[in-house]
Structure 1
Amino acid sequence: MNDVVGTYLYAVALARDAPPLEGLTGVAGGPVWAISHAGLAAYVSAVSLTEFGEEPLRESLEDLDWLGETARAHHRVVEAVAEKTPTAPVRLVTVYRDEAQVRELLEQRHDDFVEVLSRIAGHDEWGVKVFVAPSAAAPAEETAAPSSPGTAYLKRRQASLQTREEAWHQAVARAERIHDTLSAVAVASCRHRAQDPQLTGREEWMVLNGAYLVDAARAQELGRLVQELRGEGVDVELTGPWAPYSFTTPVEPLESSESEARDDVL
């Protein structure tokens, strides 16, 4: 019995600027090629629907090892295209039934893709994470008057909670100021959910997980600004440049496509 094959979509670019990707492999080790239609080029590879069909994906998306390997392969293709031309990345594990359905997507969403690709041309996405040590944001604690052991404990506990809450509010306020400062350099910006300490491996609070679309000519200015914002218990982590994942219109699979990625995968 032959395996049923679907078409995995990575990214879309203008056909006239679409670079060849000879030798590049995508998810599941398959070769990547471009489907040209309506002036656009969609970068795709073939995948088995035994693994990438709707039902198998429900389980696979809960497997962190599988998800990590698939995400790395997906990003590798997107970055290879983005290094050479303005690129609209597509969500992880967006799979279509066949090439004809991808052509239908390019035709139906043509104007949306052209608008996005025009807007991001000459710009890169930069990621900024801001970490604040709680002690750096916390106000000094007042020395409590002597009291009974039980009362003293309750007062210390209450003061600790109040101090931590105050520290958090101060840290958030600093993050807002940093975000506003960075946004002034960017043509567009957005904020993502803060990552859990188990994922970052850091004890400090992550108070900002931002993305900034910056003109390539202002990249050095952004770097200098990040350096200036560090210090006094605040660590500002800059990553990039990346393909503009945060600033391209999400491509929803057509109604008859085999699967669609979850919003929180990337």
Structure 2
Amino acid sequence: MSTSEDTLTYVYAAAPLTARLRDACAALRGIYGAPVLLVTAPPAGGPAGPPPLLAFATSHVPRHDFNESALKNHFEDLEWLENVARAHHAVVEGLSAHATVLPLRMATVYQDDDRAGRALAEQYDAFVERLAQLTAHTEFGVKIYLAPTPTPPDAGPATDAGAATTPGKAYLQRRRAQHNAQEAVYAQAQRAAETVEAIASRYASQRVRHPAQRGALTGPAENVLNDAYLVPDANAEQFRAAVEEATGAFDGVRVEVTGPWAPYSFVMPVAALEHSATGEERDS
């Protein structure tokens, strides 16, 4: 199906072209409820024979909503972003249940199906290599949170020579006690992080370190570690169990293991010619 002048080709992921992938796409709906379609690129072939065919999972989106200037405005609209992100995630997760997928960044768009196919062909070898690394692997997230350090209560009346004798001294003592408690919790978090890293060295094949989360995403707790691990499926349960068991005893620290997910943290940027909604070619 070709793209009309009023639409653009939105790409969710790359995957080996199989009958299971076709069946999975037929059951999915993408952004704005559009059907999920496949854009293919033929293998280049070679002395060892042709590699498996690859495909982009795509859908057609309104040009007025996804052209370059519209996207700049939409990225300030949290409700729009959330809806698009949910639709993008649903397609990737639906495909990953049936095939190894390489998710692309949200809002990767091309002028039409032909340009999407050309981009897939240009990066064919790189996609094949990365998909081989992701086969039979899934992503797990590991986050470490610190509970808020409570402010020590006001001290009662001084009863010995070592106690604070003025409000100022009492305040400084409370602040010192709070600082010491906070330092102790940070030390626990460091030990927990080292424990996670040691476990991952046994079970995971790759790691991506994301920036710590802030604000509404963490609530009152402070996020100090936000890592993603690519874990072979054969190690998945051992990895989760080992992390949860080894980190459960750290005081003042909460370790959260999430997943398995499609390998979002290990996406490969579309580094060759990316055809923007304006028709220009740009480096991704």
- What is the match of residue 62 of structure 2? 48
1:100 aligns with 2:129: no
- What is the match of residue 217 of structure 1? 234
Match of 2:207 among 189, 214, 217: 189
Task: For residues 185-220 of structure 1, give each alpha carbon's deviation from its aligned partner in whole angstroms, at most 9, with x where no partner exists.
Answer: 10111221222241133x222222111111111112
- What is the match of residue 156 of structure 2? none
Task: For residues 205-262 of structure 1, give each alpha carbon's deviation from its aligned partner in whole angstroms, at most 9, with x where no partner exists.
Answer: 22221111111111121122133122333332222211111123222473531289xx
Gaps of 5+ in 1: 137-142
**Separation in structure 2 between the aligned mates of residue 237 and residue 86 of structure 1, nearest angstrom:** 25
Distance change in 2, residues 1:206/1:59 (3 Å): same
- What is the match of residue 169 of structure 2? 151
The amino acid that maps onto 1:210 is D
Match of 1:206 among 190, 212, 223: 223
**Backbone CA RMSD of aligned residues:** 2.7
Q: Specify the SS of the correspondent of 2:21.
A: coil
Residues 10 and 109 in structure 2, CA contact (< 8 A), matched pair in contact too: yes
Gaps of 5+ in 2: 43-52, 151-159
Instruction: Mark the structure with the bigger radius of gyration.
Output: 2
The amino acid that maps onto 2:193 is A
Distance change in 2, residues 1:223/1:162 (3 Å): closer
Name the TM-score, length of structure 1 as normaliser.
0.85
1:242 aligns with 2:264: no
- Cα distance, 1:134 vs structure 2: 4.7
Q: Specify the SS of the correspondent of 1:90.
A: strand
Residues 175 and 207 in structure 1, CA contact (< 8 A), matched pair in contact too: no
The amino acid that maps onto 2:175 is R
Residues 105 and 267 in structure 2, CA contact (< 8 A), matched pair in contact too: no
The amino acid that maps onto 1:241 is P
1:26 aligns with 2:30: yes
**Separation in structure 1 between the aligned mates of residue 31 and residue 38 of structure 2, nearest angstrom:** 15
How many residues end up aligned between the 2 structures?
A: 253
Name the TM-score, length of structure 2 as normaliser.
0.80
Residues 143 and 226 in structure 2, CA contact (< 8 A), matched pair in contact too: yes
Distance change in 2, residues 1:72/1:16 (3 Å): same
Residues 149 and 181 in structure 2, CA contact (< 8 A), matched pair in contact too: no
Match of 2:7 among 5, 14, 17: 5
1:129 aligns with 2:143: yes
- What is the match of residue 35 of structure 1? 39
Residues 134 and 168 in structure 1, CA contact (< 8 A), matched pair in contact too: no
The amino acid that maps onto 2:15 is A
Task: For residues 87-141 of structure 1, give each alpha carbon's deviation from its aligned partner in whole angstroms, at most 9, with x where no partner exists.
Answer: 11000011110111111111111111000011111111111222232559xxxxx
**Separation in structure 1 between the aligned mates of residue 276 and residue 105 of structure 2, nearest angstrom:** 14
- What is the match of residue 174 of structure 1? 192
**Separation in structure 1 between the aligned mates of residue 221 and residue 264 of structure 2, nearest angstrom:** 26
**Separation in structure 2 between the aligned mates of residue 123 and residue 258 of structure 1, nearest angstrom:** 33
